[in-house]
Amino acid sequence: MGSRNMASAASRHDMIMRRIDTGRIALNVREAGDGPLMLFFHGITANSGTLAPLAVRFADRFTAIAVDQRGHGLSDKPDDGYGAADFAEDIAALIRALDRGPAILVGHSLGSRNSVTVAAKYPGLVRSVVAIDFTPFIEAEVFDALESRVNAGDRLFKDLPAVEAYLAGRYPNIPAGAIRIRAETGYHEVDGGLRPLASASAMAQIATGLRADLTQAYREVTRPVLLMRGAESRLVSAEALAETSRLRPDLPVVVVPGADHYVNEVSPDITYRAITNFIEA
């Protein structure tokens, strides 16, 4: 299917926004389509808006739901509980609450870690996982740099153009349209301007928690997992991906040329095709 046809198919679906009380936490979601369940989980500091353009392209065949994870977007923001196990329990509770059977999970970065973690712990709730640009064996200095960037984003902005200018500098490879989505969905009005919707305290706890060893989850996961990496990623090095493939040589790998860490925003068509090929296989 050509990109023009995919775009027109996507345009027939409007994502509705709603909150789902899972019995454990209330999560804000963007939802479209009908059919088997396909859930999308964003990276640290982001929200469901960043994955909505990808999710809606699957709404012809799936109930496609992009989720604001705890601490982010319009979902609940408890004071603590931001480890991998906490997010995994949230996802498990959401799948049970939706009551549509096991789900395909598509996760970027933080969402990738959380998706693999829940698939390892609750294989009966998960059909398969697309793990975008987050693996075990990420180097300590990479997490140091990530933590600095995350903490620097918690600030007051004068207006939306100021937010867009900041984000364009922080994410130089993300197209302007995707930057606009991040600006329009990730900030809220406060006295004096705009601040991130993501909780600063939560982001600090998540950034620390991302350092936890992920090898056990990858060793134990039995559901199909597709590993995706941006060839220019500064988060997942070629060495980290190679080490992950040595740990699990059975997992298919797609490396997206020209893309950095933000694979689904920088290369949406390639991401869509890779996921489609994986789930059809």
Total Cβ atoms within 10 A of residue 71 = 27
Give the rounded distance of the alpha carbon of 106 from its chain centre. Answer: 7
Residues ≥6 apart with Cβ < 8 Å to 169: none
Q: Among all chains, which residue has been given the structure tokens 């609750």? A: 122
The catalytically annotated residue of 76, 128, 261, 267 is 261
The catalytically annotated residue of 48, 75, 109, 233 is 109
CB 183 within 8 A of CB 160: yes
Q: Among all chains, which residue has been given the structure tokens 């995919």? A: 6
Q: Break the chain down into helix, strand, coil percent, rounded to 5.
A: 45, 20, 35
Question: For the packed helices 84-98 and 110-121, what is the interaxial angle rounded to 10 degrees?
Answer: 70
**Annotation says 199 is catalytic:** no
**Annotation says 109 is catalytic:** yes
Backbone angles phi, psi at 202, to 5 degrees: -65, -45
Q: Which residue, among 71, 18, 22, has the nearest Cα to 47 in the 3D structure?
A: 71
Give the rounded distance of the alpha carbon of 140 from its chain centre. Answer: 21
Torsion of CA 40, 44, 48, 54, to 10 degrees: -50
The tokens for 68 are 């604001």
**Annotation says 42 is catalytic:** no
The catalytically annotated residue of 133, 199, 260, 267 is 133
* Catalytic residue list: 109, 133, 261
